[in-house]
Amino acid sequence: MKTKYKDLTIWITGVSSGIGAALAIAFAKRGARIILSGRNEEKLEAVKKRCKRANKHIIVPFDISDANQATAAYLSVKKQAGKIDWLINNAGVSQRSLIMETTEEVERRIMEIDYFAQTRLTRLVLPDMLAQGSGKIVMISSVAGLLGTQYRGAYGAAKAAIHMWANSLRAELHDQGIEVATVFPGFIQTNISINALTGDGSTQGTMDDATDKGLSASAFANQAVKALTKGEEYIIVAGSKEKLATRVNRISPPKLYKLIRESQVK
């Protein structure tokens, strides 16, 4: 059944830049009305201007890690848009620090943003989707949530947790008209490594070489939108090396981790 985007209202978090901005632009191009959320209203306005039919889209800025702000944002979206057809949980923060150099406070912060904030917002939206008998929840996980690598212990754990949570949600809602999809990006050319948290909670501030050589955000968005349009539920959007690693992991995890140990992953 063909997706009629002109009839859809899609709420996307983490839209200030990177893949969130690219997804907003790609879905707007296909005719959907976009709810753009993130912490920086000025950046959200800039992304909105890049969206086709900019005047039809809505900006709702908030800090997703703040439960009160999340509730207020949901109520604002519901009031302004009237409905939410798709929720794309994209907001998040990455990590670049060894486990033994990372404080528990930083690990909890990563888990709060990358896991609890996502599940919280989903639970706010789901009752309306269940009442209308339709909807799609999309979780942006990561290839790091499928493979454990150096410098991403808490990040990989949070992304794996959201992946498993989405699997359970899919099983629970399969007969109630709600679709659940998980997207696993590999290295994408965004500010993710610049904004990544180090062991003491400060940001790394530099671009990783692998990230800089990754897929463009627009290429990611085009592939992800195409897969979501087809109704795919488990979507890996990554370069050939990352895709190969996920296949090796399914066949022989010990072999993969031997390769990871020998590589210079950061």
Sequence-ordered list of residues with C-beta below 8 angstroms from that of 109, at least 6 positions apart, any chain: 93, 197, 201
Mean pLDDT, rounded, for 130-137? 97
Q: Structurally, how many domains does the chain consist of?
A: 1
> What element of type H or E holds 261?
helix 253-262
pLDDT the model gives residue 257: 85
Q: Is the pLDDT of residue 169 over 70?
A: yes
Kindly compute the dihedral angle of the four CA atoms of residues 72, 122, 219, 264, in this order, to the nearest 10 degrees: 110
Q: Is the pLDDT of residue 125 over 80?
A: yes
- Positions annotated as catalytic residues are 155
| 187/214 Cα distance (integer angstroms) | 5
Other beta carbons less than 10 A from residue 32's beta carbon: 27
Does residue 14 lie within any of the structural domains?
yes
Q: Which of 121, 157, 124, 172 is nearest to 12 (CA)?
A: 121
% the chain with pLDDT above 70: 99
pLDDT digits (tens, 9 = 90+) for 46-88: 999 999 999 999 999 999 999 999 999 999 999 999 999 999 9
Does residue 260 lie within any of the structural domains?
no
| 256/250 Cα distance (integer angstroms) | 9
pLDDT the model gives residue 259: 85
Q: Which two tokens stand for residue 96?
A: 């670049």
Query: With 0-12 CB in 10 A as exposed, 13-18 as middle and 19+ as buried, what is 171?
Result: exposed
% the chain with pLDDT above 90: 90
Does residue 254 lie within any of the structural domains?
no
pLDDT the model gives residue 2: 67
pLDDT the model gives residue 177: 94
Sequence-ordered list of residues with C-beta below 8 angstroms from that of 262, at least 6 positions apart, any chain: none
Does residue 142 lie within any of the structural domains?
yes
Q: Which domain holds residue 102?
A: 5-240
pLDDT digits (tens, 9 = 90+) for 147-156: 989 999 999 9
Q: Is the pLDDT of residue 157 over 80?
A: yes
Looking up residue 65, the CATH number of its domain turns out to be: 3.40.50.720
Banded pLDDT at 143 (limits 50, 70, 90):
very high
Please name the residue that has the structure tokens 């627009």. 218
Does residue 245 lie within any of the structural domains?
no
Does residue 73 lie within any of the structural domains?
yes
pLDDT the model gives residue 265: 72
| 98/78 Cα distance (integer angstroms) | 41
Does residue 251 lie within any of the structural domains?
no
Please name the residue that has the structure tokens 């399969």. 174
Helix (H, G, I), strand (E, B) or coil at 244: helix
Mean of all residue pLDDT scores within the chain: 95
Banded pLDDT at 263 (limits 50, 70, 90):
confident
Question: SS3 letters for 127-147?
Answer: HHHHHHCCEEEEEECCHHHCC
Other beta carbons less than 10 A from residue 252's beta carbon: 11
Does residue 255 lie within any of the structural domains?
no
Query: With 0-12 CB in 10 A as exposed, 13-18 as middle and 19+ as buried, what is 264?
Result: exposed
Mean pLDDT, rounded, for 183-203? 96
Mean pLDDT, rounded, for 207-216? 92
